[in-house]
Amino acid sequence: MTNQEVANKLVSLLREGKFNEVYDELFHPDAHHIEPQSEYFADLKGVEAIKAKDAAMSEHLEGVESMEVGDAIIASKHIAIPYKLTAKLKDGNQMSLDELIVYELSDGKILSEQFFY
């Protein structure tokens, strides 16, 4: 897949909330997750570890109130996507995310994702 095709598929799957499909179809098995601001998930290696992170986060969610995935910006071997999420937590609180996710690609696969918020 070209970087444009990866970007199109990535945005489509994210907008549909199909995160496991993103990992299974687009990520390299040894992909790297970088989120230095996170106390728990700052540096993960491998798709299975990234999926486990998502599962751990989902355990605290009661439901998603809104999600907005912006259009991808492609530059050489990187894709940047703005992402906003508002969710209700099981403890009754609300969580809001407003971040930019930057993906690095090689040979049609995502090698890394880095979150900026």
Structurally, the chain folds into a number of domains equal to 1
In tens digits, the chain (117 residues) has pLDDT values of 999 999 999 999 999 999 999 999 999 999 999 998 888 888 999 999 999 999 998 899 999 999 999 999 999 999 999 999 999 999 999 999 999 999 999 999 999 999 999
Separation between Cα atoms, residue 35 and residue 115, nearest integer Å: 5
Instruction: Supply the range of the domain harboring residue 46.
Output: 3-116
Length of the chain: 117
pTM of full prediction above 0.75: yes
> Which helix (DSSP H) or strand (DSSP E) does residue 41 occupy?
none
CATH of the domain at 60: 3.10.450.50
Separation between Cα atoms, residue 41 and residue 21, nearest integer Å: 20
Say if strands 43-45 and 27-34 run parallel, antiparallel, or are unpaired: antiparallel
